[in-house]
Amino acid sequence: MTIFHFGKHAVPFADVHDINVTYKYHDNEIYVDLEINGGAQLSLNLPDSLTFMDQFIKKVREEKGLLQES
């Protein structure tokens, strides 16, 4: 099971029901809101949003068999 770690928290990806991504292209900002099983919602700050997206993209690449080019 893949676990998303941020701050002092650990959330299994399996517990994430949905995500909402808000971005400000010209400000170079991405913010992620997570909906967790059971209805809880977490709004991540910028550093945690970037950590989540890095881990999520890695998970997608692994599950879809897409190799990241160097």
- Predicted local confidence at residue 70, as pLDDT: 59
**Centroid of chain to Cα 34:** 8
Domain ranges of the chain: 3-57
18-56 pLDDT tens trace = 999 999 999 999 999 999 988 889 899 999 899 889 988
Dist. CA 58–CA 54, nearest whole Å: 6
What's the whole-model pTM score?
A: 0.80
Which of the four pLDDT bands, split at 50, 70 and 90, describes residue 12? confident
- Spatial CA neighbour of 9 closest among 52, 46, 53, 50: 52
Residue holding tokens 């909402």?
20
pLDDT of residue 69: 67
